[in-house]
Structure formats: structure tokens, C-alpha cells
Amino acid sequence: PGNPGSLRESPRVSMLTGGLVSRVQVRTAYIRNICVLAHIDHGKTTLSDHLVSSNGIISQRLAGKIRYLDSRDDEQERGITMKSSSIALLYKHEIKSEKQVNSQSEKKKEEKSEDVKEAKLPKKKKKKKKQELKKKKMLAGLGKRGKGGVYLVNLIDSPGHIDFCSEVSTAIRFSDGGVVVVDVIEGVCTQTRTVLSQAWSEKLSCILVLNKMDKLIAQLKYTPREAYDHLNRIIEQVNAVCSTFANEERMEKAAKENNSEAEFDEKHTMSFSPEKGNVVFASAYDTWGFNILDMTEFYAKKLPIKPKVLTKTLWGSYYYNERKKGPTKKPDPKNPSMDIMAVEYILKPIWELYAQEELKNKEVISKSIEEFGIHVPSREIAGREWRDRIRAVMGRWMPIAKAVLGTVVDNLPNPIQSQAVKMPLIWESWQKQNITNEVKSAACECNFSSKHVLLYVAKMLDVGSKRILNALKATKNLKKDEFKRSQYVRGKMTQSNETKVIESPEMEEKEEIENTPENMKAAGRFIAFARVFSGTIDTEKNQKFMILKPGYDPKATKADNEKYCIEINSEQLGLFLLMGKSIQSLPRVPAGCVLGISGLDEAVLNSATIASTSCGNIPPLAPMVHSSTPLVKVAVTPTRYQDMQKLLKGLRLLQQADPNVETGVERNGEHVIVTSGELHLDRCIRDLKTRFAEGVDFKVSPPLVGFRETILTDLKKNEEEKAKRTDEFVQKSTPDGTFSIKVRALPLPSEIVKALQQNRSVILDAFRDKKKEVKGISIARNIILSTLKNMKKEAKDKSKSKTISKKGKAVFWDSMKVDRVIALGPGKTGENLLVDNTASSLSQLLDAQTLNSLMTSFRMVMEKGPLCEEPMMGTAIVIEDVKFDVETKKSTLASGQIIQTSRDAYRESISIHEARLVEPMYLAELQCTEEVLRKLYAVIGKRRGRVISGDFREGSQIFIVKCYLPVERSFGFSSMLRRSTSGMASPQLMFSHWEMIPEDPFFVPTTEEEKEEFGSNIVPRANLARRLIDGVRKRKGLPVQELIVQHAEKQRTLARKK
């Protein structure tokens, strides 16, 4: 591939064209795929701007202001990132530490000695040894990390808002390393924990960037020693979060192996330490940053300490002893004012420079510049703004792009090293499926020369067909220019009054690409964001591929997989290099690189696995797990019925462009959009209006919140019901009496409900295929069984049961046979159970069709509850007895009659219990100062929020308040909070749990005390549950008990009409 040092030091992005891309991309060991991860407003995009400016794409003065990777208008307006953006950068890495220099020189000596040995060997042995060395280099990543040379860095900037977690999942799946940015003022926040958890689950190596260091000086007025202690606390917080993930994994592994001392792979632990060189201290606003290796390189020339020792002692409780000329653990008694080395040599010079800049002491500043050994133009020092002078000095002494990219190259793995760890994790059924060793090794080694090509598409990017065609046209024109130059050099170009160009036959065959409707339709509007894991995808070769969708099963028949497998040729595709706002066409892309692919609009909805036919019948890669759940729902209706088809097409395109959006049709015929939050909803509506359903006028309903319904153990308190019923059993039979069923309804213990919710995705995967329905039920049974065992264990430890009820209902769950659970509902993965409690099994009493009818009616009942026809939750229907006439059994009773009879029995068994409404709850994390704390609590109270904690962050003036907030009251919460606190508080909302509203929606005061407290007429003062139920019933067109006119008396006026 060529000498890595032959490229220029600061290459501009215009160099990333033609042959250079091919040269850089095949050097897999010199590739770093990284993503920037952080909480909102912690400085991700500003940092990304500085990395982009290092390649000359934007001016360094505009870095942090232009927000280059935020290409959407609403991103620029709001100042936050909503979509992941990828860009390719070049970085020339220079070896810094003495250890790396020694390792390089030793390696060269070893290579020379090997060459001498090889010269003595015969030809056959030479060939064999070369192949072995090539394989070793491939597995080892062609050398150690941090090797000098030019690197290709594929940077993916991800959003920090909780509503756009799906974009973070995409960035993490395609990256080999992560840059975790933490604001030193706010510290570890909600989204910081979330992205660290996602990175841990994907085995992603990370570095830590402590951003906004300038605020410790200018805003909080910390001393260097206070800042040192504060920075150490933040690093400890991040490490504490990472250690919880390691402990959880260790405990899960021990539980599976039934061994409390199970071995744990320490290689995949995530910890950050300045001494390791994986922590960067930075101020993206002031354009500077450094790590310990940078400071070691600077002070190694000034202090008589070896670089290796200096790296270990420069950050920590070490003092410099001038008499001993070295670091010591105790301070020098003759120089008590001397602080630790980190404070004296790292932080104090920065603090002094900021202090002199504020005092405008130019003489001291000039001395500092001389000490730093840098050159700053006099016109920049004479600037009016002191911040501009800081940027001029610090940006030249410790440029942030060099510090971050250098740390990335030194600490994060290349694709070869990363895929050896990640591929067994993200490939479903790696061990169980029949995958050949060649395919496995090609994927693990990231072998770009393999014939087995494997790609994964994570999402579809809407770039527009014009941009795709313009990129293809630009590439064609570039090829023509290159051909002209080559002809001129070879002397084949004849120049006269009219210049004649000898074109190649391939150029003559290809017609000029025009932006015609036919070409635009063929090109499509979407580009698939993908990564190549093995082989090389080449559009100039006739490669055949299989597009495997998430539902593909390699063990199923070809007819069953027809919907999930599509064949396509590489000639039908277009390959692109993603450069933020622009794209560049490429002929081929090797393994280890990210790319864009056009021509997959009809074949891929959101994600898919693309494999060459040579890979054989392989399973698809594991789908990505999104941490946010779509909850906010709105209905969209066109104002003109003629635009309905255009609106439906727009909804389909919206779902294709955003993997975390759900679109569908309600039972009443309304077309709905379900999103993760209020901000996500605003973006989707805007996209629908301006991009996907342009020109269609439609109405958007107020946000519709989904509720759940459940039952209590107690029966209804109505006296009439009590007189009619003596127990909780319900028996129903068909009109002819040939079939009868006896059932009862019971509330599920909360532990079982939580376990089913947490493992919903696992059960859903098993239910994707009808043939796996038995497997899905068995998984659910195992989950319930383990939960019941834990409940019994806790009850013994605490000497009381978790499922105590008035009439001994806990006895049923204690003696329940888990293998008698025959169905879940609603759908197939709900939190409701159908339990067979008959004397003999239903499978023996009934045939498959009748049993299926009982399960169908159960799911129908669970879909519509008795209060407002919302789905049921935490309810078990227990079948006690079934009677079926043997003679009728032979003639087979109509399944419709069985469904109707069993449905009536299920509904009646539910209706005799006290019913309650269950609402979704957000976990809100809010940060504010002491000044606006009272106003913040007032806003939370108005929105029915419940504060669970309020702590003062140590070492800062910030309060962190956590509260539970109903989703129904969350709309407009952010804007109301900003208005009340003058923008000094901002929330982060994340779905937490479902919570039952304890109020009885049908409560009527009967006693004198109740009438005095609640009033004699309950309708004007309806309780919360009743108000929410009535709102849902009105929306669904169900009858509501309300008084439209309360007093039908004639109005009296003062004027008497004569």
C-alpha cells in the first residue's frame, strides 16, 4: 500500500479523492473508526468542529461556531445535534514517548535479523515464512498501537439528547472506539451513563475527554489545587459507573454457571486514568487540550527525569525534589510551598496565563510564549478580546485536535483488533449456526482480500436523489480529467486550433448523467449507512449479494425466507464516502471502513445484513438495541382526502429514515406516529411537512398517551354485586350447553410483571416465526419460574411473603405450575398470562383448534380493558375447568362460538374486580443553581411530579434533582421550566416505569365525612383517574357519563322587560 509517512502532514479533505482513498482505506491497521459520545451540551459538536478544522475543511476561527456536522436547519436553530453524521479525516501521528521510540528501533533490529535469516533459507521455506509473517501481522494489526504514520479517522458525531438514542446505537455499532466527553462543571449525567452502558454492551474501547476546563478558571474561580481534586473526583465518578457494568456482567456470568467465583475477562474492563494516557484535559471553546504524554514530551526537555518515569509521576501525589532531581512521595521540607507536580507543572502555568490575560499584562504573556517555545503573530496578541489572545497562545501550544486524535491513535484499536472481539458478540448464534471457518476468520480478522464480503446497514439517510446524481456526475468528470492528463503525459494529446481528446472506449460507452426524473427515480433518495466487516465491495465487478432482513432464519425453507432475503448485484449499487454535508462517489470500499450505499431504497427499511453468496446460508447480524422507547403518539389526518396516498407514502419514508419511529393505524382508522419524546416528535412532524409529504396539508392531533389497565385483588364494593356473587369464579357455556368454561382473574405479582417487561425483546425474537411459538412460551415460563424462586427466597429471608392478599391469593402463586402457562397477551409478548389450572392438562382435553380459540379470545380481551379499552397489564386469567361434550367434539363445534363464550367469561371475571388505570412515567433529571431551586420544585408540583432525590454536587454550585414525571403531563414541561427559571434549568426525560393510579375512578361519596370532604356531587370534582379515562373515551368515541347542562334555569337579569 505504500509508505505511510509519504503523505503530507496536514492533508486537506480535497486530497481524499481518487486513488488516495483506495491507498488509505486498504491500510487497515492505520484506520480508526470513532464516535463522539456525551450528554447534551457537553461540547461534542464543538470538539468535532476542531477535529474537522485540522483537515482544512473549515477555518480554525469558525470551529465551534459553524457546527459543521449539524447539517439540518432545526439543528442549527436549536443548537443541538439530532442526527449522527460521519466524516473522514486524515491525521499524521508522531511517536511521542521514549518507550514507543525504543519499541520501534527494536522492531527494526528484529526485522533486519529476520531478513538475514531469510536470505539463508531455500525458496520454498522463504515463501512459507513470508505467509506466516503476513498472517501474524494481519492478526496483530500490523504492529503496535500508536505506530507513526498517516491515519484515516472515520469520525461519527452522535446526538446527546435522550430522544435520539437510536442514533447513538448506530454510531456505536460502526465504531471501534469512543470519545466520551464530560463537562467538568456538570460531571456525569444521565446520558453519560446511558452511552457508557451502550459502549460497554458493544465492547467498545473508549477515551475520556474532560471538557470546559476554562470554566473552572473563569467561572468557578478554582485554585489549581482545587481544580486538581475536582478533576480526580470526576474521573472517579466515570470509573465508578464503568465498574457497575463490570460487576453486573460478572454476577450474570456467575449465575449462569452456578459458580460464585466465575472467571471474568479483565481485558474488556473500561477504566480511565491520566497515567494510562487515555484522559484528555481540554477546553474546546478555547481550542486547547492535552494528555499526560503531551506534557511529558514538553517537560522531558526541562526536567532531568526519564520520560517513562515522568509519565507515571506527572499526575498523582508526587512532588518534585530539586535537591534529588527527581519525584518523591513526600514534599521537600525546605520548600513547603511546592505543590504536587500535576499542580505545579500542568495546571499552574494555564491558570497564570488566564490571570495575566484578564489583567492584560502583555509582558508576562510574552515570557509565557517564550517558555512554551511557540510563535504567535503580534497582531493576534494585540487583539481586543482576551479570549482571542488565549486561543492564539493555547491553541498553538496545545492544539486540541492533535491531543484528541493522538490519544485516539495511541489508545483505541484498529478494525482488525476490534472485530476479533466484537464479531462473536454482534453475530447472532455464532456458535450454533453452520458458519464456515473461512467466513468466521475473514470477519474476525477484517480481511479485505477475502472473497467473503459481509456488510451491515444500520440506518437509511435521506440525502435526496439530486445529491446522489451530482456526486456520480462529479466522479465521472474527475475520471475524464485524469484520463486527459494521462493522455497528455504520454504524448497522445494533439493540440491545434481545436483540441482533440482521445477518449477511452469506456468513456464513450457511458452517457452523460443528467438529473432527469427517470435517473432520479433509479438513483433513489436514500443512502444506506453501512460498514464493511470482511472482503471488498466493488461496483466494477459483478458481485452477487444477499440482503438478509432481521426476520431471516437460515434453518427455514426458501419459501419461508422469501420475504426476508433479496438478491442483488454490486453493479446496481452506488458507493459513497460520507463527508458530513457532502458525499463523494467511490468505485470500491474494503473491510474496516464505513460508507454510504445507494440503490437499496426498496430492499431495506431500516437495517439489514448484506453478504456475498459465497458466504453461504449465514444468520444476520444482531439488531441494535435502542435504550429509548417510543411513547409519544399523535394522529395525522390530511385536510383533503385526495392527499391520503401522498401522506401514507410520506409516513413510510419517515419510518424508513428514522429507525426509532413507529407508524401505524389505530382501531378507529387514524394514522398515528409514535416517537421517543416531544423534541423527537417536533422533528418528525417537520420532516413530514418539508421533506417526505411536501405539499400535503394535514392536521396533527394533540399528543396521545397510551395507558394500561389492571385489576386489584379485592372484588367490587357495590352492594348489588356482593349480593349476587359469593366467589370470584365465573362459568359460561354455549347456548346448546355442549361447551362450558370456568375461569377466574387474578392480579400478577409486580415482580413477574417487571421480569416480563425486562425480557420482552428476548421473547419477541422467539415469536418472530410461527414455528418458534413453543420456544417463546418456554422462555417466558423460565423467566416466571426464576422470578417465583427469587420471591420465595426473599419471603423466607424477610419472613413475610411479597404477594400477601386478603383471601390467601398468594397460595396460588406459591403452588403454581409454571409449565401450565399457555399464552401471553396482548399480542404474544404482553404482561398478562393465561394459566391452565385444570385437573388434567388442556392439551389432553381439547384439540389444537379449540385450544387456539381459547388463546385467541384471551388476547382479544387483553387488548381492550373495561375502563377505556386500553391494553391490560399485570392480569392472569386462570382456567379452572373446561367441559366439552364428547359427541360434539367429534362433530367439531364452531370455533366462533368457543371464542365468544370464553371471551365473555374472561371479561366477566375481570369486571368483578376493582379496576385501576396505569400510566407511563418519566425519570427526569434536572440541574439548576440554588437561586432557582424553589421555582423548579413549583413547576414539578404543577406537573404532578414526585421528587425522589435532590443532591448538591460536591465541588460545584449545582443541584441535581431527580423526579418521576407522568408522560401525560410532560408536554411543554421543558418550555415551562425554562420560562420559570429564566433558562437556568433544563431537564433530561427518560422512560422509567408504569405506575398505577391508586384512585378509584368510580368513587362516589356515601358517608357524611366523605360528602363533606369530596362534595355531594362527584361529577364537578372528578378525580384524576376519571378525568384521564373520560379523555381517552372521548377520543375513541366511547360513551362518557357527564352532565352537559347542570342548572337548566332561565337566566335572571337586573333589567325588567315590559
**DSSP of 720-751:** HHHHH-SSS-EEEE-TTSSEEEEEEEEEPPHH
Question: Quick check: 906 and 877 in contact, CB under 8 A?
Answer: yes
- 492 pLDDT band, cuts 50/70/90, is very low
Do 101 and 95 touch, CB atoms closer than 8 A?
Answer: yes
Least confident of 40-54, 848-862, 998-1012: 998-1012
Residues 104-115 have pLDDT tens digits of 444 444 555 555
* DSSP, residue by residue, 6-41: GS-SS--GGGSSTHHHHHHHT-GGGEEEEEEEE-TT
Q: Does 277 or 428 have the greater pLDDT score? A: 277
* pLDDT above 50 for 741: yes
* 3-state SS, one letter per residue, for 999-1015: CCCCCCCCCHHHHHHHC
Average pLDDT over the chain, rounded to an integer? 79
> Which range has the top average pLDDT, 519-533, 646-660, 766-780?
646-660
What's residue 847's pLDDT? Answer: 81
Over range 749-767, report the average pLDDT. 77
Across 328-332, 658-662, 759-763, least confident range: 759-763
Average pLDDT of span 814-838: 82
Q: According to the model, what pLDDT value does residue 946 have?
A: 93
Tell me whether the omega of the peptide bond preceding residue 826 falls within 30 degrees of 0, making it cis. yes
- Residue in this structure with the C-alpha cell 484498529, named with its chain if needed: 414
> pLDDT tens across 402-413, in order?
999 999 999 999
Q: What single DSSP character describes residue 945? A: -
| Residues in contact with 174: Cβ distance below 8 Å, sequence separation at least 6, in sequence order | 33, 35, 156, 458, 529, 531, 594
Residue 507's pLDDT band (boundaries 50, 70, 90)? very low
What the block records as the C-alpha cell of 979 is 420560562
Least confident of 173-187, 292-306, 394-408, 477-491: 477-491
For the ranges 60-64, 183-187, 348-352, 893-897, the lowest mean pLDDT is seen at: 893-897
CA-based nearest residue to 984, from 958, 954, 964: 958
User: What would the pLDDT profile of 50-73 be if each residue is shown by its tens digit?
Assistant: 999 998 888 888 888 888 998 888
Q: Is the pLDDT of residue 597 over 90?
A: yes
Confidence of residue 19 (pLDDT cuts 50, 70, 90): low
pLDDT tens digits, residue range 909-927? Answer: 999 899 999 999 999 988 8
Q: What percent of the chain has pLDDT over 90?
A: 31
Give the integer Cα–Cα distance in Å for 48 and 34: 11
pLDDT (tens digit per residue) in 161-182: 888 888 898 899 999 999 999 9
User: What pLDDT sits at residue 125?
Assistant: 58
Q: Would you say 976 and 251 are in contact if contact means Cβ atoms under 8 Å apart?
A: no
Q: How confident is the model at residue 786 (pLDDT cuts 50, 70, 90)?
A: confident
**pLDDT tens per residue, range 448-468:** 999 999 999 999 999 888 888
pLDDT digits (tens, 9 = 90+) for 608-639: 999 999 888 888 888 887 766 777 889 999 99
Q: Which of 209-223, 660-674, 700-714, 874-888 has the lowest mean pLDDT?
A: 874-888
Residue 645: pLDDT band with limits 50, 70, 90: very high
| pLDDT surpasses 60 at 234 | yes
Q: How far apart are CA 280 and CA 412, in angstroms?
A: 14
Residue with more model confidence, 724 or 767 = 767
Confidence of residue 704 (pLDDT cuts 50, 70, 90): confident
Look at residue 915 in the predicted model and tell me its pLDDT: 92
Over residues 326-376, the pLDDT tens digits come to: 888 888 787 777 889 999 999 999 998 888 765 566 677 777 788 888 888
Residue 775: the pLDDT is: 61
Burial string for 63-82 (b: 16+ CB within 10 Å, else e) reads bbebbbbbeeeebeeeebbb
Q: How far is CA 497 from the centre of its chain?
A: 62
Q: Of 232-246, 676-690, 809-823, 1025-1039, which range is least confident?
A: 809-823
